[in-house]
Structure 1
Amino acid sequence: MNPAVKIKKLSSGITVLAEEMPLVHSVAVGFLTGFGSKHERDFPGGIAHYVEHMLFKGTLKRSKADIAEQIDAVGGRINAHTSKEYTSYFAVVLDEHFTLALDILTDMYLNSAFDEAEIELERNVILEEIKMYEDAPEEKIHDLAFQNIWDGHILGRPIIGTEKSVRQIARADILACLKSFYTPDNTLIAVAGNVRADEVFQQIEARFDGFRGKVREYQELPVAIVPGIKTVKKDTEQAHLCLSTKGVAYSSNDRFTLSLLSSILGGSMSSRLFQKVREQKGLVYSIYTYPTFYQQAGLFTLYVGTQLKNARQVLDLSLKELTLFKQNGVTPTELQRAKEQVKGHLVLNLEDSASRMSWLLKSLYNYGKLSTVEEIMQKVDRVTGDDIQRLATEIFIKEDLQLTAIGNFTKSSFFQNLDC
């Protein structure tokens, strides 16, 4: 572990991580609670995202305007993010304003008012956000792909919820979620920047004195792939396609293998799909692949946006590339380039206090431990071409392919016979 990182479990049960970065002039503070959309089985869909919004709408001593103005007054920024597995809140300020940032986030986390009038106002905001996604098929397609391939499983539900589920959320539901999941043993706090770890631990310990509770037990059900073809008719300029298949979980030894596979196949401008379908054929503007990792599941997805008349040809070309990937593997040049890309992105994305703070939170939450950048790079370097070809043959199979498409299709049978 990086010697600049210190970890301490407070008397309340909260785990705190602090990374001392004396050469920067900023501090990033982040709170993570293990409550995302996958934990909503007994609650209306979208409530984790709703709670995230509400923490910015005023506390017992700060109005929502106060929260925004106090951060703006010191040139900082504050935001939050809800995922399928967790919700995070963070602030980034100059190092001299660390205490203010910590005080605001703590106040939001422990003392939000959840005023009924604000709840109703925010309901309208979230409903508008849902409508915005409905009008953006290039965004909506990814949620639909998850819903289709994990049909019936809670991981397939949209994080934001639906119009129906959001209208059902009441203040009592929000308070029940807080009691069930916003607990010390389900909370991580990370601070990175020009701070002293001992001071960080002391300040957080004092602010969370008296914070009590135990997280509600959660049993995740097994995830099963549902293959098939689903099209959504919509009057759009382009057809939007997501071809998905099974991936791997965070804990899998194949996590870096899949990342390299994605980089070679469709993760950059030099990737096979980008070069073949866009540069050589001129059939698309946007084509890319990406892996999605969760604690007990994962997906691999190919996205394409193209004219309706080209959609079938683009899909066929993409399926052919998957077949070639299985048959021929990767070249030494492709493998080395992909490794340098993955390592480069890793290092370049950890150059400031905010990214370091996020790295600490997600690493401990997803893996239960912290790894150094050097350790991750060594794992990337150990992946072989045979590893990638073997994984390709395991995930690129007809029985696991799910195609989701949005476009002005005249027939539901526009796409047929997925195979690779």
Structure 2
Amino acid sequence: MAKKTYRKTVLDNGLVVATESMEGIRSISLGYFTRQGTRDEDPEVAGVSHFLEHMLFKGTRNRDARQIASELEDRGGSLDAATAKEFISVYARFLFEDLELAVDLIGDLVSNPTFPEEELQKEKGVILEEYREFVDSPEEYVFFLLFRALFEGHPLSREVLGKPETIKAITRNDIVARWKEAIAPENSFIAAAGFIDHEELVAMINEKFSFPKNEGTRWSNGEFPKPGFFKESRPALNQVHFSLGVRIPPYSDKRRYPFIILNSILGYGMSSRLFFELREKRGLVYSVTSFLEFYRDAGVFGVYFSLEPGNLDKAYKVLLDELEKVRKNGIREDELKRAKGRVRGSLALSQESSSSRMSRVANYELHKLNFLHIDEVLERFEEITLDEVMEVASEFLVPDNYGIGLVGPESIMNWNP
């Protein structure tokens, strides 16, 4: 029987296998991850990482697309993939007795894709439709504008999907080149959680995964620009979609802990400061939320809401006032206590899911940090003081550091912060 524990092995080729075993469940969640994402692409083929993710499912030397789609589904499991700014992943959730099938399937996708030309041409149409859907979704597109406002000219400003002109221009050779570069074992890792035996998994991965020769890996960094303001109009919209953000330290920085507390106080749920001020007290919005994103060289703290254009000035002033109050006065002891309770409960509940546990293992490995067991994380949150939260608020919640993205009807084109 597997015991609840974390283990990590580095294979001879550099591939990392990290697992957390769980008792009392029958599922396993397992994912292959590469630390190469959108930010590390050649800008001339922007979107090629996302295109590669799609093409992995179009056939291998051992399976056609239908077999890839059905093998785990026919046994009650699931298979999916994702592309982000700093990773590409293929992941699955399945019953523990199907571990060998899942490893064989994911290993086949990663190691033996064929990238058929006829499927590539069809998939261009699919991805272009995905891009159009993204542009037509202001609640998503506004975050692209926010990242431009915070990172314009830096690789983190790039949209995962790419641009229509680059999507249309991507060739099979571009896909193959990106595959060889991205999946190099020294850039990759396997994360798994559930009813799993670590040594058994390592043996299977050694057998099922192989990698092409890597000619070199592009790692894209850059200077951060002065934050700005980007807006676009959508004549058919009735609401303004607004997002304000600020650059903060990366995930590797321990100040992420007080930022998580601050984020909870400002914009987590109906008890948050911003929900009370903008909705309950003034009725300006239906919903408002704050969020955190972390990368290898920076993070983002941000706020999002949507509302009637005529109320934008009022809501923007309330938002700035609340951020300024926190920057100058900090938070209250009762707010800190409630935020710790929310974080504690959320983390504890996530421990019941093999998918959440896999994601947590993957997050530490993605950022090349030592894994912390849940009790260690909870202890760190319990130790956070009012002064720690005050320090990050006073250093980073500075109006000159804010970037803003805005999408709305034509009338908002005259609005400026």
Q: TM-score range by the shorter chain?
A: over 0.9
1:63 corresponds in structure 2 to 64
Aligned residue for 1:358, secondary structure, equals helix
1:45: Cα distance to partner?
0.8
2:178 corresponds in structure 1 to 177
| Separation of aligned partners in 2, 1:294 and 1:128 | 28
1:234 corresponds in structure 2 to 234
- The C-alpha deviation readout for 1:158-181, integer Å capped at 9, x for no partner, is 011111111111110111111212
Structure 1 unaligned blocks of 5 or more: none
2:211 corresponds in structure 1 to 211
Check 1:99–1:43 CA distance in 2 against 1; reply closer, same or farther (3 A cut): farther
After TM superposition, the structure 1 = structure 2 runs for residues 288-327 of structure 1, keeping only pairs within 5 Å, are: 288-327=289-328
Contact 1:234 1:408 (C-alpha < 8 Å) held by counterparts: yes
- The C-alpha deviation readout for 1:259-313, integer Å capped at 9, x for no partner, is 1111111122111000111111111012111111111111111111001111111
| Separation of aligned partners in 2, 1:392 and 1:225 | 21
The one-letter code of the counterpart of 1:308 is: P
2:268 corresponds in structure 1 to 267
Aligned residue for 1:89, secondary structure, equals strand
Contact 2:153 2:225 (C-alpha < 8 Å) held by counterparts: no
2:82 corresponds in structure 1 to 81
| Separation of aligned partners in 2, 1:225 and 1:372 | 37
2:112 corresponds in structure 1 to 111
2:221 corresponds in structure 1 to 221
TM-score normalized by structure 1? 0.94
After TM superposition, the structure 1 = structure 2 runs for residues 82-231 of structure 1, keeping only pairs within 5 Å, are: 82-208=83-209, 211=211, 213-214=213-214, 216-231=216-231
1:396 corresponds in structure 2 to 397
The one-letter code of the counterpart of 1:85 is: E
Aligned residue for 2:287, secondary structure, equals strand
1:336: Cα distance to partner?
0.8
Contact 2:148 2:230 (C-alpha < 8 Å) held by counterparts: no
1:333 corresponds in structure 2 to 334
The one-letter code of the counterpart of 1:230 is: F
1:219: Cα distance to partner?
4.1
1:19: Cα distance to partner?
2.6
| Separation of aligned partners in 2, 1:220 and 1:344 | 37
The one-letter code of the counterpart of 1:41 is: D
| Separation of aligned partners in 1, 2:406 and 2:211 | 47
1:61: Cα distance to partner?
1.6
The one-letter code of the counterpart of 2:144 is: D
Contact 1:260 1:388 (C-alpha < 8 Å) held by counterparts: yes
Contact 2:22 2:193 (C-alpha < 8 Å) held by counterparts: yes
1:215: Cα distance to partner?
7.2
1:226: Cα distance to partner?
2.7
- The C-alpha deviation readout for 1:55-83, integer Å capped at 9, x for no partner, is 11111121111111111210110111111
| Separation of aligned partners in 2, 1:27 and 1:56 | 21
| Separation of aligned partners in 2, 1:118 and 1:362 | 32
Contact 2:243 2:302 (C-alpha < 8 Å) held by counterparts: yes
1:15 corresponds in structure 2 to 16
Contact 1:33 1:186 (C-alpha < 8 Å) held by counterparts: yes
1:385: Cα distance to partner?
1.2
| Separation of aligned partners in 2, 1:153 and 1:246 | 13
| Separation of aligned partners in 2, 1:403 and 1:5 | 41
Contact 1:223 1:297 (C-alpha < 8 Å) held by counterparts: no
1:352 corresponds in structure 2 to 353
Contact 1:147 1:158 (C-alpha < 8 Å) held by counterparts: no
1:287 corresponds in structure 2 to 288
The one-letter code of the counterpart of 1:172 is: N
Aligned residue for 2:85, secondary structure, equals coil
The one-letter code of the counterpart of 2:381 is: V
| Separation of aligned partners in 2, 1:132 and 1:3 | 42
Contact 1:35 1:85 (C-alpha < 8 Å) held by counterparts: yes
- Structure 1 residue 5 corresponds to structure 2 residue 3: no
Check 1:277–1:39 CA distance in 2 against 1; reply closer, same or farther (3 A cut): same
1:343: Cα distance to partner?
2.1
Contact 2:155 2:222 (C-alpha < 8 Å) held by counterparts: no
The one-letter code of the counterpart of 1:20 is: S
| Separation of aligned partners in 2, 1:215 and 1:400 | 39
2:253 corresponds in structure 1 to 252
| Separation of aligned partners in 1, 2:167 and 2:212 | 29
- Structure 1 residue 374 corresponds to structure 2 residue 372: no
Contact 1:11 1:205 (C-alpha < 8 Å) held by counterparts: no
Aligned residue for 1:299, secondary structure, equals strand
The one-letter code of the counterpart of 1:233 is: S
Contact 1:225 1:246 (C-alpha < 8 Å) held by counterparts: no
1:22: Cα distance to partner?
3.4
1:229: Cα distance to partner?
2.8
The one-letter code of the counterpart of 1:193 is: G
| Separation of aligned partners in 2, 1:94 and 1:224 | 45
Moved more, 227-236 or 171-180: 227-236
Check 1:340–1:225 CA distance in 2 against 1; reply closer, same or farther (3 A cut): farther
Structure 2 unaligned blocks of 5 or more: none
Q: Identity of counterpart residues, as a percentage?
A: 32
Structure 1 stretches of 4+ with a deviation exceeding 3 A read 210-215, 217-220
1:115: Cα distance to partner?
0.2
| Separation of aligned partners in 1, 2:327 and 2:17 | 44
The one-letter code of the counterpart of 1:129 is: E
Contact 1:247 1:291 (C-alpha < 8 Å) held by counterparts: no
